[in-house]
Amino acid sequence: TKENKKTEEEAAKHDELLKKMEATRKKWAEEDGEDADDTDRLLQEAIELAVQQGRGWAPGEKEEYMARILDDDFIPPIFAENQEELERSGLAEAFSTLHFDDSPVIVMLDFKKKG
């Protein structure tokens, strides 16, 4: 089906990206030594590659987002006190898809105990 083909194409792109990143990492290891931490460098390369592939902000999208979050009436969803405020944030769907193994209160208390 069409969805399977799209998934296969995405998997192939993913595999290609991983191979390219591993080749880059090996090249850096040869240049800098095996013990060098290239995490930041690798992340920067991945970001540049994603931008080249057309990922990131669409034209005007960043400006629209910045205008929305800088609006005085905008309440970040993490601080929403009720469902209405969460709906106005525009991120209600994103927050509704979060799944927790334990409730956030239990996790918070566990971390509080650990110091």
Check pLDDT > 80 for residue 61. yes
Structure tokens at 65: 């987002």
Which residue has tokens 């566990």? Answer: 110
Give me the helix-helix angle, 2-32 and 39-52, nearest 10°. 140
Structure tokens at 96: 């509704």
Residue 75 DSSP one-character state: -
pLDDT tens for each residue of 33-58:
766 677 777 788 878 887 777 777 77
Check pLDDT > 80 for residue 70. yes
Q: State mean pLDDT over 74-98.
A: 77
Q: For residues 53 and 71, is the Cβ–Cβ distance under 8 A?
A: no
